[in-house]
Amino acid sequence: EPEVTQTPSHQVTQMGQEVILRCVPISNHLYFYWYRQILGQKVEFLVSFYNNEISEKSEIFDDQFSVERPDGSNFTLKIRSTKLEDSAMYFCASSVSGGVNEQFFGPGTRLTVL
Amino acid sequence: GNSVTQMEGPVTLSEEAFLTINCTYTATGYPSLFWYVQYPGEGLQLLLKATKADDKGSNKGFEATYRKETTSFHLEKGSVQVSDSAVYFCALSDQGTNAGKSTFGDGTTLTVKP
């Protein structure tokens, strides 16, 4: 069964450093998403991406964040200058189409900022 | 905007007990409704979904019915097992203008004791 994959599973970085979180969505999916879950809290929407551009972003997704689909398979989230409060689990998701269709989630990347 | 409210946890039950986790929502359009499960140390897995009013989603003995009149999507299981111990998230996806982003509730931690 096709699945969304994410690498690395755990990333530790120093405050102020740049990190890139990688995701490989399901191959025939067209919509891609990043969500964040701070430990013990709810899952929060960051950004959606379609047709090589951002469809929607939340207030969390400020200028330090960017997303890219550099090739036909990867979907990346870059955090330019990490802060302590960026420590969280980051989930990638994809769906065949937008709207009310089911999103398939990856296993997540745990980011720890020291 | 959209929002999802789940009953507060944690919930602790004995094996074979009946489970209900309440979920109510607010949405501007006609959302699809989902329950996701997160086992310890893992990502989000779709448990069940319903895409229109009066639909019943079911999977692994869990059920939830989309009640438009009460804007609810309560999760139920007749007889829980120890292996059902996890965090359960209610979520909605509204076609609207949101490119299908999901809005999550806070999550309810379920612990089932033998």
For residue B64, what are its two tokens? 């939830």
- Given a contact cutoff of 8 angstroms between Cβ atoms, the answer to whether A81 and A16 are in contact is yes
Tell me which residue in A97, A100, A107 faces B51 most closely, judged by beta carbons.
A100
How many residue pairs bridge chain A and chain B with CB atoms within 8 Å of each other? 73
| Mutation target vs B (from A36, A43, A61, A109; most B CBs, 10 A cutoff) | A43
Q: What is the pLDDT of residue B99?
A: 60
pLDDT of amino acid A70: 86
Q: Is any Cβ of chain A less than 8 angstroms from the Cβ of B66? A: no
CB contact under 8 A, B34 and A102: yes
Asked if B43 has any chain A CB less than 8 Å from its own CB, the reply is yes
In this complex, do A42 and B51 lie within 8 Å of one another by their Cβ atoms?
no
The pLDDT value recorded for residue A74 is 93
- Give the pLDDT mean for A85-103: 86
Q: What is the pLDDT of residue B102?
A: 87
Mean per-residue pLDDT, A41-70: 92
The reply to whether residue A95 touches residue B43, judged by beta carbons under 8 angstroms, is no
pLDDT surpassing 60 at residue A5? yes
Mean pLDDT of A9-37: 95
The pLDDT of residue B89 is 94
Give the per-residue pLDDT at B95.
64
**Residues A78-96: what's their mean pLDDT?**
95
Which residues of chain B are modeled with pLDDT < 70?
95-100
Largest CA distance in chain B: 46
Q: How many CA atoms lie within 13 A of B33 on its CB side?
A: 31
pLDDT at A39 over 90: no
Are residues A97 and B100, on separate chains, in Cβ contact within 8 Å?
yes
pLDDT of residue A102: 79
Report how far residue B15's alpha carbon sits from residue A54's, in angstroms, rounded to the nearest whole number: 46
